[in-house]
Structure 1
C-alpha cells in the first residue's frame, strides 16, 4: 500500500469539530470490525468519517484507499479515544460515521419481493433492546430472512450497538416502516400472499407440527410485555416453541433463531 495513504492520518478525536453538530446528527456511528466492513462492502458511499487504531491499518487498507480516492476523512487514534467516540470499549479498533441505511415503505418492499416464491420477514412489536435487535439481525441474515417490519413510531433498529452485535447482519436485511395504523398492513401482506404467524411464549400451536406458509411473517413480541394481545389474535396462526418448562421462556432473540431455523429447514 502506498505510504501516502497514511499522510496526516494521526490525530486525536478533535476531528469531530470539523463537521457541524447538525451534520453529525444525521449520521449513524458504527463500531466493530465486521459491522464497518459489511457496511463498506454493501454501500461504501454511506461512509463519512473513519477512526481506527494503528492495529487495524492492515485490516482496513481497502477502506482507507477508498477514503483517499473519495476524499473521505480518516484518523488513526488511540484506543481510549475510540472508546469515547463509540461510548463503549467494545469498538474492536474502528469507529465510522455513516449515513443511516434507507428505510423502505411496506408497499415498496412488497413490490421488491412480489415475484419471490419463498420469503420470510420479522414483524417487531415493541422490541427495543439493541443487543436483542442485533442478535435478531444476525439470525435473520444467517437464515435468509428478508426484512424487519417496524412500527410507524419505532426507532430504527440499526444503531451502533445493534450493528456490532449483528456482525454484518444489519447490512443484509431491509428495515420496513409500517403504516401508522399497523392493522392496515395485514390486508396488504395477505394480498401479497403472506401468512402472519404470531409467536407466543405459551398456548400457541407447536411450531414444529404447524404448517408454515412459504411467504411468512413472524410477529415477535417485546422482551418484557410480550406481544399485544389484539395483534396476536389478528394473525392467521399462533405458535409456540415446545420445551421443558424449566424456565419461563427463551428471550426474543433466541426464540427468533428457533423460528427462523424451522422456516429455513422446511424451505431447504
Structure 2
C-alpha cells in the first residue's frame, strides 16, 4: 500500500547550480536588480532556486492599482477645484486680466457691443433694455446694489464676474466706472421716416436734432436734459456717438429713455419734419450780430417741435429753420455750455 502511494507521487528533479558565466566586469559590479532577475526568469517555469534548494514564487505587485487610484483621485480633485474656481457663479474676486469680449472677435464686438458703466446707467439698461445685456463686471462692494440684476443673470444663464476695481478700470479705460460695467448690444437706430410713422398719432412731440456735437460729455449732458424734460427722439448724423461709454455715464441713463434717429442729410430731414407739422427751432450757441435771432422769452412754441442744436454755426440749418433764437448773456459770460443752454430752452418749452 505504501509502495503504491510512493509510486503515485510525482518525482521532482532539481537542477544543480551551474557555474556563473564570466563577464568583462566583476561580480560586484554585476547588477542584481529587478531587470536582471526578469531576464533570467522570463518564464514562470524557470523559477530561480536559492542556496537552500527552495523553489521561489513571485507574487504580482498589488500597489500598482492603488497607485493608479490615488493618482486618478488627485487629478479629479484638481480638475473639480479648477472648474469651481473658473465658474462665473462663484462670488470671488478675480485678479486675472478680464477681457470684455464675450463670444465675439474684437472687430465684431466693437461693431455690435458696447460698454456701459456707472450705477445709474447700468440700472437704466436693466430697466429699459435688459434683453441686450451680455455680461456684467462688478466689484464686491456693488453686488448688493445690483442684487436684482445678478439674480436675473443667473436665471438667464448669463455670466457675471466679481472683480476688483482695478480690473474694471482696465476694461473701461477710465477711473469713473462706479464699480460696475455691463457689456450690452448696441441699439439699432430708426430712420426719420420710421420714427414719424410710429409717432403719427401723437398730438405733442419733441425731437432734439444735434449737429456737430462730438464731445461725449456735452452729448451726454444734452441727452440727460432731453430725458429730463420728456424729449421723445434724438436725431444725429452719427448715432454711434450715443454708444460712447463716457456719453452714457454723463447722461446717467437718459439715453435709454429716448429714441435714436439716424439722419444722413439734416437739410432733407428738416424739410421732412416741416411737412409733418413740426416747428423747427434753431438755437444759436451764442448771440451773433450778423444773424437775426430772437430772445427765448419772445418765442411761442407749437405742439410739435424739432430743436436744432449745434456748436459750430451752420447757416444752411439756420436758413431752413422756422425760428432762430439765442439766450442773452452779458460781458462776463456771453455764452453757455451747449448742454446747459439746451436745458434752459427745454424748460421753457415745457412751460
Give the match's secondary structure for 2:308.
strand
Shift of the alpha carbon at 1:6?
4.5
Q: Aligned in 2, Cα 1:155/1:17: closer, same or farther, shift over 3 Å? A: closer
Q: Deviations over 1:211-264 (max 9, x none)?
A: 111111110112xxx231111111111011123342131111011101111101
Q: Note the 1:195-234 alignment, pairs <5 A.
A: 195-200=279-284, 201-202=286-287, 203-222=292-311, 226-234=312-320
Structure-1 separation of matches of 2:128 and 2:254: 11
* Of 204-213 and 52-61, the range deviating more from structure 2: 204-213
Q: Would the aligned equivalents of 2:242 and 2:255 in 1 still touch at CA under 8 Å?
A: no
Q: Would the aligned equivalents of 2:93 and 2:139 in 1 still touch at CA under 8 Å?
A: no
Larger CA Rg, structure 1 vs 2: 2
Q: Note the 1:156-175 alignment, pairs <5 A.
A: 156-175=241-260
Task: Work out whether 1:61 is the aligned partner of 2:147.
Answer: yes
Q: Would the aligned equivalents of 2:100 and 2:171 in 1 still touch at CA under 8 Å?
A: no
Shift of the alpha carbon at 1:173?
0.8
Aligned residues: 257
Task: Work out whether 1:72 is the aligned partner of 2:158.
Answer: yes
* TM-score computed with the length of structure 1 as normaliser: 0.90
Aligned to 1:118: 204
Q: Note the 1:1-268 alignment, pairs <5 A.
A: 6-7=89-90, 10-11=93-94, 12-14=96-98, 16=100, 19=103, 20-25=105-110, 26-151=112-237, 153=238, 155-178=240-263, 180-200=264-284, 201-202=286-287, 203-222=292-311, 226-265=312-351
Q: Would the aligned equivalents of 2:102 and 2:135 in 1 still touch at CA under 8 Å?
A: no
- Which stretches in structure 1 are left out of the alignment for 5+ residues? none
Q: Deviations over 1:71-112 (max 9, x none)?
A: 111100011111111111100010111001221110111112
Q: Deviations over 1:102-150 (max 9, x none)?
A: 2111011111221111111111111111001111111011100111111
Q: Would the aligned equivalents of 1:5 and 1:68 in 2 still touch at CA under 8 Å?
A: no
Q: Would you tell me which structure has more strand in proportion to its own residues?
A: 1
Structure-1 separation of matches of 2:272 and 2:218: 28
Shift of the alpha carbon at 1:16?
4.0
- Which stretches in structure 2 are left out of the alignment for 5+ residues? 1-86
Q: Aligned in 2, Cα 1:130/1:49: closer, same or farther, shift over 3 Å? A: same
Q: Would the aligned equivalents of 2:93 and 2:164 in 1 still touch at CA under 8 Å?
A: no
